[in-house]
Amino acid sequence: MLWHRFLHQDFIYGYIHKHHHRQKAPSRGNTDAINVHPIEFVVGEYLHLFTIYMIPCHVYTVIFFIIIGGILASLNHTRYDIVIPGFFSVKYHDVHHVKFNYNYAQYTMYWDQLFGTCRDWVSNTNKKAL
């Protein structure tokens, strides 16, 4: 979430992350999810590897983490209204593609709620709890 938020800073947005936001309503799943600048892609992948390094776990957990992350990132770039109550909703990432300065987190809005950057799809007001 912090990396994504950093990419939205004025001094870097136009060079790296703006390319991804050309789609205001992404609908091609994985194709739109990975349609990013090479720097963004490489750093994002290394952040995943860093997480795996910092939290020692079984190889099956690593595989699960990578597969689930890919599936949820792909779902975030579809027009499907998929919800996992209390954890995930495609609509939150839809808001991010329309209102760039909100809903930076990819899978859960807990961090956006903590930093005050979470906005609901309908009201575009602070979301208290997912």
Q: Which residue has the higher pLDDT, 27 or 24?
A: 27
Average pLDDT on 48-65 reads 92
Q: Is position 7 within any domain? A: yes
Q: 10: which residues sit within 8 A by CB, 6+ positions away?
A: none
Return mean pLDDT, the chain: 87
Total Cβ atoms within 10 A of residue 52:
15
For 70-101, how does the pLDDT look when each residue is reduced to its tens digit (9 = 90+)? 999 999 999 888 999 988 999 998 899 888 89
Helix (H) or strand (E) holding 7, with range, is helix 2-7
- Is residue 43 over pLDDT 70? yes
**What's the pLDDT score for residue 124?**
47
The total number of structural domains in the chain stands at 1
Average pLDDT on 49-74 reads 92
Phi, psi (deg, nearest 5) at residue 11: -70, -15
Q: Is position 126 within any domain? A: no
Total Cβ atoms within 10 A of residue 31:
12
| Apex 72 CA angle, 37 and 1, nearest 5 | 55
Q: 9: which residues sit within 8 A by CB, 6+ positions away?
A: none
Q: Is position 96 within any domain? A: yes
CA distance 122 to 4: 23
- Judged by DSSP in three states, 88 sits in strand
Q: Is position 108 within any domain? A: yes
Q: Is position 99 within any domain? A: yes
**What's the pLDDT score for residue 122?**
65
Name the H helices within 8-86: 10-13, 30-33, 38-54, 59-75
Q: Is position 28 within any domain? A: yes
pTM of the model: 0.79
Place of tokens 């995943």: 48
What the block records as the tokens of 100 is 């760039």
Domain interval for residue 91: 2-115
Q: Is position 120 within any domain? A: no
Q: Is position 124 within any domain? A: no
